[in-house]
Homo-oligomer: A and B are copies of this chain.
Amino acid sequence: MSTIWNFSTRAKEVKSSVIREILKITERPDIISFAGGLPAPELFPVEEIKKACIKVLDESGSKALQYSLTMGHLPLRRAIAERISKRDGIKVTEENIVITGGSQQGLDIMGKLFLDSTSTLIIEKPSYLGAIQAFNSYRPTYITVGMDNEGMLLDEMEEDIKKHKPRFIYAVANFQNPSGITMSLKRRKRLVELSKEFYTPIVDDNPYGEIRYQGKDLPSLKSLGGDNVIELGTCSKIISPGLRIGWIVGPADVMLMIEKLKQGIDLHTNTFAQYVVYEYIKTGQLDEHITKIKKAYGERIKVMLEALETYFTKEIKWTKPEGGLFLWVELPQGNSATDILPKAVAQKVAYVPGKPFFVDESGDNTLRLNFSNATPEMIVEGIKRLGKVFKENIK
């Protein structure tokens, strides 16, 4: 019966995320998966979260289980504002923070806030698949901007902005998903200049900013652009993704608009999870925990880069990220990472083909590798298998 219901245009257009579909397959325990974006579960602070749960329920049980305010739990908003103020050396207060159900909800809210079906927005090429999926449901037109090792190419940005009047510019400035590329300081400054000149907001999706393994932190787009920049953050990579706690940082008046939209979206984010995350942050263990994560992932990327040198033939190129969870591989033009994937899965190793990260259907010779979820031993074995698959299958 339902097949003849009259659905919305967006619902009829929506495609399933290739990544989510692949995650289902690669959950088989015999597969070494570089496909997902999963943090290492053995590093989750399970005992500390348990302590936080007990404390929250003992001390504030009836509040933590009750409805709460749409913008989020005030102490958590303050704690996040403090962290960002400290990082950027600028004044951010709770008025600049809305707590979201992970930063994926932040992306959906950006779409809801800015996009009509007649709107354009600028995104990197490639760009984060989950963002494309969130924005797609508002049916905008994408203007894509290529990337090199310094991030977004800005040569044509001014012209693009003048011509297309984008509602916003979507960037992942730090250790981009999928490419692992970090935007250089020069580009950051220029992007902010253009944003100011043309009153075009930048949305900086920043889930990985705190997990850098080498090199020096660069000033955030937020610190350079102030109220021209909305930043999306999350606990997913530094505490736990299952708790679905993210945040939006932006101008106070825009936060009030978001509050109204979020009332209709879900009333508010999980109260209990907000209390628990705040309790965990309050204990002061977060920075220590991040250090631990950085050490583990820093080792894993090193192992993966070494394995790539050993097992991949020289016509294959890859990026060398200084942080984040992903690196990006380019097979010689004319090869399809999509077509080769089933052969890799047959050899019990998986990756994500790059094509879904491009809104223009290009990039089929690319693929994304995650290095945070598998142990170093599995990484070596997995890259060895993958090297063999590519050797046998690329033209």
Q: CB within 8 A of A114: which of B1, B8, B16, B62?
A: B8
Task: Pick the most buried of A2, A63, A101, A242: most chain B CB atoms within 10 A of its CB.
Answer: A242
CA–CA, A250 and B14, complex, Å: 19
1/0 per residue A39-51: CB within 8 Å of B? 1011010110110
**What chain B residues lie within 8 Å of A260 (beta carbons)?**
14-17
B251 with A1: CB separation less than 8 A: yes
Q: Is the CB of A242 within 8 A of B49?
A: no
Question: With an 8 A cutoff between CB atoms, is A272 at the interface?
Answer: yes
A241 within 8 A of B: yes
A 96-124 binary contact with B (CB < 8 Å = 1; else 0):
00000110110110001111100100000
User: When the two chains form their complex, are residues B44 and A50 in contact, meaning their CB atoms are under 8 A apart?
Assistant: no
When distances are taken between beta carbons in the complex, the residues of chain B under 8 Å from A5 are: 114, 167-168, 199-201, 254
Does A334 lie at the interface of the complex (its beta carbon under 8 Å from any beta carbon of B)?
Answer: no
Residues of chain B contacted by A112 (CB below 8 angstroms):
8, 10-11, 137
Q: How far is the CA of A378 from the CA of B48 in the complex (A)?
A: 40
Chain B nearest CB, measured from A16 CB (Å): 5
Which of B7, B10, B24, B244 is the one whose CB lies under 8 Å from A269? B244
**CB of A145 within 8 A of chain B?**
no
A1-31 interface (Cβ within 8 A of B): 1-11, 14-17, 20, 23-24
A319 CB, min distance to chain B CBs, angstroms = 23
Contact between B49 and A57, CB atoms less than 8 A apart: yes
Complexed CA–CA distance, A165 and B4 (Å): 13
A227 CB within 8 Å of chain B: yes
Is A333 interfacial (CB-CB < 8 Å)?
Answer: no
Q: Which of B107, B116, B251 contacts A8 (CB under 8 A)?
A: B116
Our pick among B53, B63, B66 for the contact of A57 (Cβ within 8 Å) is B53
Interface string of A70-81 (1 = CB under 8 A from B): 100000000000
Rounded to whole angstroms, the CA-CA distance of A38 and B268 in the bound complex is: 14
List 6 additional A-B contacts (Cβ < 8 Å) besides A2-B201, A130-B267: A1-B228, A11-B112, A11-B113, A16-B260, A38-B67, A102-B267
| 25 A-B interface contacts by CB (under 8 A) | A1-B228, A5-B167, A5-B200, A5-B201, A5-B254, A8-B112, A8-B116, A11-B113, A14-B257, A17-B263, A38-B67, A44-B62, A44-B65, A46-B61, A50-B58, A65-B240, A67-B241, A68-B242, A101-B101, A112-B137, A242-B270, A242-B271, A244-B267, A244-B271, A270-B270
